[in-house]
Structure 1
Amino acid sequence: MTIVIVDDHAMVRSGLRMLLSSKGDIEVVAEAADGDEGIKSALEHRPGVVLMDLSMPHGKDGLTAAAELKRAWPEAAILILTMHDDDEYLFRAIHAGAAGYVLKSAPQEELLAAIRTVAKGDAYLYPTATKRLMHEYAERMKRGESADVFGTLSEREKEVLALTAKGYANKEIAERLVISVKTVETHKSNVMDKLGLKSRPELIKYAAKKGLLQFE
């Protein structure tokens, strides 16, 4: 079983490499310090599992990288490794195409089990996450909600969605939100991908449906 480790902390990568390499059936074939490098390494080595950190402040974060990697290589088995025991991140990871989600605080045995599970093509969620996921699904069904993924958008993605629908150019959005134009483009691409939208008219129609077109 081959693995690519993607984490912005060198000490974390070193510790994971030592742990995984000590197992006879696992080989770490590459390491990466950010999302862009992780995508490149994964596409180069085509590992059995991509172990992806969620929060990487420099370059692409884990969720963005996971979504891009899945578009480029749909067969990729991505296991998100994170300190965030948070429902929003969990649902966003699933929507990004991750095959598993495990906490950094988990015992080594759980991490190894998660790796072997996603390597076989199965999904893995830590036990309490599975319980919460089932509860959330049941509650949505009780309320008669459809499988609308609007709730999986981050607050920043919702802001970009609303401003784009109102006709603001990328540069104007960047200035209003005090972010770079490249970041705006990334958020916009993620929004279109998550919502399954193909064109600007579709985006405007969706934003109107969600009540996002109120002008100041």
Structure 2
Amino acid sequence: MSQQDTIRIAIVDDHPMVREGLRAFLQLSSDIDIVAEVGTGAEAVELAESEAIDVMLMDLVMPGKYDGVAAIRSIAESHPDIHIIALTSYQEKDRMVGAIQAGAISYLQKDVSPEDLLTAIRQAAVGRTVLDPAALDALRSLQNESGSSGTPVHHARNTSSAGRQEALTQREQDVLEALAQGMSNKEIAAELGIAEKTVKVHISHILGKLGVYDRTQALLAASRRGLIQLQ
């Protein structure tokens, strides 16, 4: 987030009425600044290169080269500091899991209440995840299927350390469990009695060992490895 604690938002949706409705509502909040809105995934990827954005609201079904999932993956890999909320009317399990695996920090239905959307945006701005109940059920289902079949699931980043399933240190495990509780870096630092900068270092190590790009993917990967349980 910016030094003024204003959350810089970008809206990505191919329906002008949806963009207009979101803009009209979000502009009522003094802590939100809508910096741009675009109608395709390709435009979202370009926007990430040109604008300082804290949170991006991303539709998943859009025309052109990039659908929402592809755009999320591209932006998450190049700009991990942009937190992406998948905001869609679709509830297919594969689409939900695909968006989260691609790097979305949250997954919400478009019928989410205005208050819950604002909460999710503010949580995303500080790196916290908010999932629609259906998306959480999909992740739990995937966790159960992975555990029973042993079938590996593709991660956005495929590193040699991930392939070796390098073990976490005890402190990294502590940080991971705090992330699973939805804590921010500042809260984790206070809870564990360490500097916030040290928390960031531990999170970077966790992401590298799990072979993922962000916190949401880390929680998903960790649940599949039995390091944490999705509540």
Determine if the TM-score, normalized by the shorter chain, exceeds 0.5.
Answer: yes
Q: Alignment partner for residue 15 of structure 1, among 18, 21, 27?
A: 21
**More RCO (CA 8 Å, sep 6+):** 2
Q: Alignment partner for residue 79 of structure 1, among 65, 70, 85?
A: 85
Letter in 2 for 1:18: A
**Which structure 1 segments of 5+ residues have no match?**
151-195, 197-216
Structure 1 pair 48–139 and aligned structure 2 pair: CA distance change class (3 A) = same
**CA shift digits 1:83-116 (9 cap, x unpaired):** 0112111110111111111001211122111111
Match of 1:148 in 2: 153
Structure 2 residue 108 is matched with structure 1 residue 102: yes
Structure 2 residue 22 is matched with structure 1 residue 37: no
SS at match of 1:89: helix
Structure 2 residue 46 is matched with structure 1 residue 25: no
Letter in 2 for 1:107: S
1:108-119 maps to which residues of 2 (within 5 A)? 108-119=114-125
- Which protein is bigger by CA-based radius of gyration? 1
Mapped partners of 1:97, 1:23: distance in 2: 26
Match of 2:175 in 1: none
SS at match of 2:34: strand
Q: CA deviation at 1:140?
A: 2.9
Task: Spell out structure 1 runs of 4+ moving beyond 4 A.
Answer: none
Q: Alignment partner for residue 59 of structure 2, among 53, 63, 76?
A: 53
Letter in 2 for 1:147: P
Q: Is the 8 A contact 2:14 2:40 kept in 1?
A: yes
**Which structure 2 segments of 5+ residues have no match?**
1-6, 156-210, 212-231
Q: Is the 8 A contact 1:4 1:42 kept in 2?
A: no
Q: CA deviation at 1:39?
A: 1.4
Q: Is the 8 A contact 1:42 1:50 kept in 2?
A: no
Structure 1 pair 121–57 and aligned structure 2 pair: CA distance change class (3 A) = same
Q: Is the 8 A contact 2:9 2:57 kept in 1?
A: yes
1:114-153 maps to which residues of 2 (within 5 A)? 114-141=120-147, 143-149=148-154
Scaled by the length of structure 2, the TM-score of the pair is 0.60
Match of 1:210 in 2: none
Which 10-residue stretch deviates more, 30-39 or 127-136?
Answer: 127-136
Letter in 2 for 1:94: I
**CA shift digits 1:106-150 (9 cap, x unpaired):** 111221111111111112211232234224313432x14143239
Give the root-mean-square deviation of aligned CA atoms: 1.8
Q: What is the total number of aligned residue pairs between the two structures? A: 150
Which 10-residue stretch deviates more, 104-113 or 8-17?
Answer: 104-113
